[in-house]
Amino acid sequence: MSPQTTEWVVSALAAFAVGLGKGGLAAMGTFGVPLMALVMSPLRAAAVLLPVFVFSDVFALLLYRRHFSARNLAILIPAATLGIALGWYFAASVSDRAIEILIGLIGLAFCVNRWRQRHHRVAAHGADVPRGTLWGLVLGFASFVAHAGAPPFQVYVQPQRLPRLVYAGTSAITFAAVNAIKLVPYWALGQFSTDNLQLSLWLCAPALLGTQIGKVVVRRVSEEGYYRFLMAALVAVSLQLIYKGLH
């Protein structure tokens, strides 16, 4: 298989994983950038997937636009914007190898956070500015580097015990805003070339397919088995990225 064919196949799998996540298989989208970064520049991988996320956000906004926590949005979005600016500065200042290592570490941190959530119940608390600002910064930075803003969002918002629709709507609006803001720095970094945008457009198809399949699979798959597979696979990909960055 030629390098270009390998790149397109791996990119399609990454977009399919993003679609599965949007279809209900939570956290599958975390695979996107780490998987693509195995066959291309991590910054390019994130840039190619960004229009796919923006495209998917439109459908999420249509579903949940009436259900959200205004206080959380007012805290998280400005903080995340600053986090995006920090991610922009970081990406423009370091090598691809450093970004690969960071994405691998973010993947491992996601797995640790998921394990912690499943084994330790976090005390309930409401929305507050200090915590929201801290986790919003982390959200923006991780989202810019690897589209991995979900774990910090969950760490901050889940303990608030929001109603299901309000939680979903707050998440949808937060990440729609974050992804839209990220378009500016990725454009400034020169990542929206004709070739990259053509690949992004092509990847919308496997992402849509993944969304439809995710809606079906989520009703049938064992939650325990699903998370065991997800964590094992993400640990393997993250370690491979760290190894690739170090060598």
Q: Is 26 in a helix, a strand, or coil?
A: coil
pLDDT of residue 219: 74
* 38 exposure class (CB count in 10 Å sphere: 0-12, 13-18, 19+): middle
pLDDT given at position 202: 94
pLDDT tens readout for residues 40-98: 999 999 999 999 999 888 877 887 888 899 999 999 999 999 999 999 999 889 888 89
Q: Predicted confidence band at 123 (pLDDT cuts at 50, 70, 90)?
A: low
Helix then strand then coil, % of the chain, to nearest 5:
80, 0, 20
Give the number of C-alpha atoms closer than 13 A to the C-alpha of residue 86, restricted to the C-beta side: 14
Joined tokens for residue 172: 């949808």
Q: Which pair of tokens denotes residue 82? A: 């600053």
Helix (H) or strand (E) holding 241: helix 223-246
Q: How far apart are CA 17 and CA 94, in angstroms?
A: 28
Mean pLDDT of 173-186: 95
pLDDT beyond 90 at 197: yes
Residue 179: pLDDT band with limits 50, 70, 90: very high
pTM of the model: 0.86
Residue 226 above 80 pLDDT? no
Token match 């570490």: residue? 105
Determine the pLDDT at residue 233. Answer: 84
Amino acid at 37: A
Number of other residues whose CB lies within 10 A of the CB of residue 204:
15
Cα 241 to Cα 145: distance, rounded to the nearest angstrom = 14
Cα atoms in the 13 Å half-sphere on the side-chain side of 212: 6
